[in-house]
Amino acid sequence: MKFNDYIYERPVIDTVKAQYNMLIENFNFSQNAQEQLAIINEINKFSKNLDTMANLVAIRHSINTEDQFYDNENEYMDNAGPIFQGLTVDYYKALINSKFKDELKKKIPLQYFTMAEMEIKTFSEEVVEDLQEENKLESEYDKLISSAKINFDNKTLNLSQMQPYMQSLNREIRKEAYEKYTGFFEANMEKFDEIFDKMVKVRNKIAVKLGYKNFVELGYIRMHRSEYGAKEVESYRNQVLKYIVPISNELRIRQANRLNIDNFKYYDKDLDFTTGNAKPKGGKDWMLERAKKMYSEISPETDEFFKFMIEKDLFDLETKPNKQSGGYCTFIQNYKSPFIFANFNGTSGDVDVLTHEAGHAFQVYESRNIEFPELIFPTYEACEIHSMSMEFITWPWMNLFFEENELKYKFSHLSSALLFIPYGVTVDEFQHKIYENPNLTPNERRKTWREIEKKYLPWLDYENNKFYNEGGYWFKQGHIFGNPFYYIDYTLAQVCSFQYWVKFNLGDRQKAWGEYLNLCKVGGSKPFLQLLQEGNLQSPFEDSTIESVIIPIKNYLDSVDDTKL
């Protein structure tokens, strides 16, 4: 079966409740651990089916937000999701309170119990309507973003299609493209503010009802962060400020020099060279053919994986009207199938997103036979290691996509990975401030963003762009709206992926592949810091990690005469 043949059937709430409650009842009345393990197996199958249906709706709705059938089903799932979550929490409570728990722990990964305990802390019947409201607001944001229709270059373009113009060699075109792009958010400022204001309020309301001071602690628990908290993350952000912000400032000065610009502005940041940025030499089908060759040569495991993806048509890569923005990878449980979603626009970002999401997809493909659906993906900060590292693992094959511009791509790719981290911690600190102070007005929120932005991105000059100068840039960052506190994860993972860059490109590639493959196979069966041990990686929270990994990267970038690219 190909993806289009995958069958969706709406899970009827009352039927699901009856079946799930019967399974939980049988679990509670089991006579021994073996009986409970058999019922857990049945619950896993049931959960996989529910997850499959929710995922098929999410994917097909994201491909076309105007598809009436899946728009209705998405609305249904927004309401049903919290009810299904409540049933799962009832099961987790039964699991945690099982009189055979000690015996079960000998057969089930401890991370499963840790996640169960954390999920229990995120839910009560009292917050079901609030969770439904939160889901609806997230869908509202997605729909608003996908509705963008920008008139530019005698065309009607969405946000993704504006990106090539924002990298134009012509500075006036870059500036105008950015102003048009900004104009969409400015024109809809009240809508974005209203959606986010309601989001902050409802999330704070949920947190208070569940007994928390505010949403910050609940946000961390939702992310299943069992080994670290806000203090450790704050310490990590300070490391970024100390070690990475100065280098990122140097890289921006270097970029301005390459571009012969003495007054570097925000609309210059996406152009790396006066000869133009590296771009893939062909379109989607051409790129997939080269990706197929690349993955056939990396390892037998990647060869098998990518052939499976091609055969099952598990991609939706081209940007089109009414398609949600961004890119993602998900896993369709019933079919043991990863799925990759992207918005190709003819820039080097197409290769980045293809290798990045393929890293996620490869990981879940390798861990697809883990019995517990909750443990197939790890927690987010570990998830992003697989994806960001895959971007670097594929470096020796970048000539397939960029040909004579291979070095140009590599220099931009590595430097942009470094430049990303200060932005990533900006997003994180902003979210902490927002949820610690849920009653801030929209104007105060934007002011807070601009203050934090100046701290980590001091080079950023918005010239006379009033909207950005007043702190509106973050409207475009969907994670802030739909996945609170999911952004520091990218930066933590980037520090880990830099370690793999060193291992794969400066060390023993075969040994490094074994470490990476092992990390993929264990999926989410362990928490973040233990997974780092599985992949032979140093924790980004350790004081020496950032400093040590930055040295070889800076050496590489300094070794390239970027003025000749």
Structure confidence at residue 187 (pLDDT): 97
Is residue 552 within 8 Å of residue 502, measured between CB atoms? yes
Q: Which of 291, 133, 105, 275 is nearest to 203 (CA)?
A: 133
SS3 label, residue 518 = helix
Cβ atoms of 458 and 406 within 8 Å: the answer is no
Both structure tokens of 473: 């840039």
Burial grade of 153 (CB within 10 A; 0-12, 13-18, 19 or more): middle
Predicted confidence band of residue 293 (pLDDT cuts 50, 70, 90): very high
| Mean pLDDT of all residues in 385-410 | 98
- Quote the pTM value: 0.94
Q: Could you tell me which of 397, 344, 382 has the C-alpha nearest to residue 537? A: 382
Nearest residue to 290 (alpha-carbon basis) of 216, 350, 226 = 350
pLDDT for 361 beyond 90? yes
Residue 340 has pLDDT above 90, yes or no: yes
pLDDT at residue 543 in the model:
87
Average confidence (pLDDT) over 208-221? 98
Whole-number average pLDDT of the chain: 97
pLDDT digits (tens, 9 = 90+) for 45-82: 999 999 999 999 999 999 999 999 999 999 999 999 99
Helix (H) or strand (E) holding 317: strand 315-318
**pLDDT reported for residue 506:** 92
pLDDT at residue number 325: 87
In order of 112, 222, 254, 360, 377, the CA distances from 109 in angstroms are 6, 19, 49, 22, 14
Residue 465 predicted with pLDDT over 90: yes
Structure tokens, 82: 């919290």
What is the number of other CB atoms lying within 10 angstroms of the CB of residue 557? Answer: 18
pLDDT, tens digit, for every residue of 248-292? 999 999 999 999 999 999 999 999 999 999 999 999 999 999 999
pLDDT score at 119:
97
Give the DSSP per-residue string, 54-98.
HHHHHHHHHH-TT-HHHHHHHHHHHHHHHHHHHHHHHHHHHHHT-
For helices 442-456 and 406-436, the axis angle rounded to 10 degrees is 140
Query: 3-state secondary structure string, 443-466?
Result: HHHHHHHHHHHHHHCCCCCCCCCH
